[in-house]
Structure 1
Amino acid sequence: MIVSASIVSCCVWALLASVTALLPLRVQYAPAIMLAIVVPFLLIFVGFEHGLGAVALGLAAFVSLFRVPLLYVARQMIGEPVRS
């Protein structure tokens, strides 16, 4: 089995995202924003090394871990009232 730098980076990102989810809510914002900013670059890196199938899996992992913030942003973008 070949281990690539992009897959190791994705694993580290997933571990960091899981640890961030365990933090108290008031402390989660800064690390979560940094992790969300890194995702497009990480997925491009994975895409160059492994193709679109791996990018789809990485995108699914991102959406799974960040589903609540992504729904919040989507609702704000389309103008729906956001439940608090």
Structure 2
Amino acid sequence: MSPSLLIASLWVLAATVVALLPMCRQYGPGVTLLILAPLVIGFLGYQHGWLLAAGGVLALGSMFRRPLRHGIARLRGQNPEVPK
């Protein structure tokens, strides 16, 4: 297995573990995973081509759609409600 696929697999396992946590405990690890995701996807794209990187970007957008929506709303100056 190539190093990039191993790193991506570990990232996916970490994301799965974070998803099993209660919502109030997901923020710290979730933000960390969200920050690391472009690096992992970029490394995958460098090693295996743009098509795999494009699939990674689509998967990331699907997994983090609510945090991304929240961040975009905050950048627009809106005050979105945070789930409890």
TM category (shorter chain) comes to 0.7 to 0.9
- Could you say which residue in structure 1 is the equivalent of 2:2? 4
Number of residue equivalences = 82
Identify unmatched segments of 5+ residues in structure 2: none
Which of 26, 29, 35 pairs up with 2:27? 29
C-alpha separation in 2, matches of 1:59 and 1:73: 17
Give the alignment's Cα RMSD to 1 decimal.
1.4
Question: How many Å separate the matches in 1 of 2:25 and 2:70?
Answer: 18
Offset, 1:41: 1.2
| Unaligned runs of at least 5 residues, structure 1 | none
Runs of 4+ in 1 over 4 A off after TM superposition: none
Percent identity between the two aligned chains? 35
Which residue in the other structure is 1:15 paired with? 13
Give the TM-score of the pair, scaled to structure 1: 0.85
Q: Is the 8 A contact 1:13 1:35 kept in 2?
A: yes
* TM superposition score normalised by structure 2: 0.85
